Amino acid sequence: MSPQKERSQHTSVVLILFRKATWYEAGLSLRRVHKDPRARKHLLGLALLVALVVLVPIVGIAYLGMLIGTGAWLFVPFVIPVMWWIRRSNKQEFEPLNIAPKPEPPPPALADPDLVLLRRFLAELTILYAVFLDRAGSERFLKEKQLPEGAEIVTRRTHFELLRSFNLLERTAAPDRDLLMMPDGHWESATINRVAAEIDVLRLLRWILGLDVHLPLIGYQLRGDFTIAHELVLAPQKALDGTSMIDADPIRVGHDAANSYFVRCFAEAVHRGCVTPNNPDATGWAAKVSESLRGKQDEDLILGTVLVSEAEDKDLMWAMTLARKRTQFLEWTLNLLQGTAPPGPAFPSMVEDEIGALSTD
């Protein structure tokens, strides 16, 4: 592994430890540690990360102090070339003996200019989602809080100026523009909730663009935080000026994990009677899946601190919705990466019937 990659991985570890979500997820595992081996494994892994970041530098400093104290540091200039020569000789000797099978070649990637254009499109889509979710947060605040007399709300004006400054307004779907043009405080509760449900898409876009180093499982982050949208409204260049974009393989892993959550929650919802399937055979299948996992603390998927089989109906249905949206969005993104679904120039609508679905069916 190159020194650059090692530094990148160490930086990622440090960023993970400083994420608020990391410690929130650790709290969820702590509440399940007495009954779920997966929670114990999660906490053990986190403890090892802390040891890596905190203890290794301390040991290195202590060792350096010992070298200086004993005078051994005087030999370092002579030892380093010898160690380099030994390592180089060993590498040349053993490299021809490496007969490990090579991994399967990845699917053909887009040409570099296309990747640049695709990243720009996704970055602009990220800004659009950030604007809508920031507006939803503002509208919810205005419905729940009483503002001081004479206070001026400038959310709508700020958002329009932001979209115009990057020439995004004319590419926004007409129903979306109409919604943004409504005066501050005039969104209906149903509209606020509908737009707020798209916060996981913004979370996915931030992860795809490399703004966030970790994508939490559906069951660990059922509720969103509007601050991830407001942050980008205040500093849109954070998304637009980046140069990194995640590879297809992690996206496939995220897609498969989200699909597993959807299938499990769908089976539970059908078994409880919360959902009526089109296929009559699905009822028997759902009963079999649900009963086989019921109460199994080390096998069933988790929603917050409880199993899917123990979750309340409203949390079950919400998780199923999030899992479906995440599965469809990541499938759409994979098609973009593979060149089978070229983007834009217009953005998909967020307020019509297929809000956030971006289905490839």
The pLDDT confidence band at residue 244, using thresholds 50, 70 and 90, is: confident
In this structure, the chain runs to a length of 361
Angle subtended at Cα 92 by Cα 89 and Cα 94, rounded to the nearest 5 degrees? 105
User: Residue 161 falls within a domain, yes or no?
Assistant: yes
Among 5-9, 28-32, 79-83, 311-315, name the one with the lowest average pLDDT. Answer: 5-9
User: Residue 272 falls within a domain, yes or no?
Assistant: no
Please identify, among 91, 125, 155, the residue that sits at the C-terminal boundary of a domain: 91
Measured CA distances, 127 to 162, 164, 212, 238 (Å): 9, 12, 15, 10
Hunting for tokens 């890596």 — which residue is that? 52
User: Residue 333 falls within a domain, yes or no?
Assistant: no
Please identify, among 240, 265, 290, the residue that sits at the C-terminal boundary of a domain: 240
Hunting for tokens 């889509």 — which residue is that? 125
Same-domain status, 149 and 81: no
Same-domain status, 136 and 44: no
Dihedral sign computed on CA atoms, order 83, 84, 85, 91: positive
Same-domain status, 71 and 128: no
Q: Which helix (H) or strand (E) holds 136?
A: helix 112-144
- Counted domains in the chain: 2
User: Residue 220 falls within a domain, yes or no?
Assistant: no
pLDDT reported for residue 353? 46
User: Residue 19 falls within a domain, yes or no?
Assistant: yes
pLDDT reported for residue 355? 39
pLDDT reported for residue 154? 86
Quote the CA–CA distance of 99 and 281 in Å, as a whole number.
Answer: 49
Quote the CA–CA distance of 162 and 172 in Å, as a whole number.
Answer: 13
Tokens of 308: 């899917």
Q: Which range, 292-306, 311-325, 336-350, has the best average confidence (pLDDT)?
A: 311-325
Report pLDDT digits (tens) over 63-103: 566 656 665 444 445 445 545 544 555 444 434 333 344 44
The pLDDT confidence band at residue 278, using thresholds 50, 70 and 90, is: confident
Average pLDDT score over the chain:
78
Same-domain status, 24 and 58: yes
Report pLDDT digits (tens) over 255-274: 999 999 999 999 999 999 99
Burial of 270 (0-12, 13-18, 19+ CB in 10 A): buried
Report pLDDT digits (tens) over 125-159: 999 999 999 999 999 999 888 777 767 788 999 99
Measured CA distances, 189 to 24, 77, 156, 238, 296 (Å): 28, 70, 17, 31, 38
User: Residue 40 falls within a domain, yes or no?
Assistant: yes
Quote the CA–CA distance of 83 and 80 in Å, as a whole number.
Answer: 5
For range 282-286, the mean pLDDT = 91
User: Residue 289 falls within a domain, yes or no?
Assistant: no
Between 28 and 187, where is the model more confident? 187
Long-range contacts formed by 193-197: CB under 8 A, 24+ apart:
194/351, 194/355, 195/132, 195/133, 195/135, 195/136, 195/350, 195/351, 195/355, 196/133, 196/136, 196/137, 196/140, 196/224, 197/321, 197/322, 197/325, 197/355, 197/356
Among 36-40, 178-182, 265-269, name the one with the lowest average pLDDT. Answer: 36-40
**Domain of 169?**
112-198+225-240
Same-domain status, 27 and 81: yes
User: Residue 335 falls within a domain, yes or no?
Assistant: no
Percent of the chain having pLDDT more than 70? Answer: 69
Among 57-71, 223-237, 339-353, name the one with the lowest average pLDDT. Answer: 57-71
Same-domain status, 74 and 139: no
Report pLDDT digits (tens) over 213-227: 888 888 888 887 899
Q: pTM to 2 decimals?
A: 0.70
